[in-house]
Amino acid sequence: MSFAAAGLTVWSVALPMAAGQLAGSWAGAHLTIRRGQGLVRGTVIVVSLALVVRLAWSFLRG
């Protein structure tokens, strides 16, 4: 809110990001209810491994 009050918000970027966040959270909640704990566990593992690979790649590249 303080960024918006100060006029620092780039609305052309902020509004699509907010819409994507809303759609993603809705879809994620519904998928979790339908598919259960296995989906959440698998997603966390895949995202964590991708982050480790990305960080290692950045570290090794310099």
The pTM of the full predicted model, rounded to 2 decimals, is 0.61
What's the rounded Cα separation, in Å, for the pair 27 and 19?
A: 12
pLDDT of residue 7: 87
- Residue 30 tokens read as 């519904």
pLDDT of residue 59: 95
* 3-44 pLDDT tens trace: 888 988 999 999 999 999 999 999 989 999 999 889 989 999
pLDDT of residue 22: 97
**Contact indicator for 14, 8 with CB cutoff of 8 Å:** no
Per-position b or e across 11-31, b if 16+ CB within 10 A of its CB: eeeeeeeeeeeeeeeeeeeee
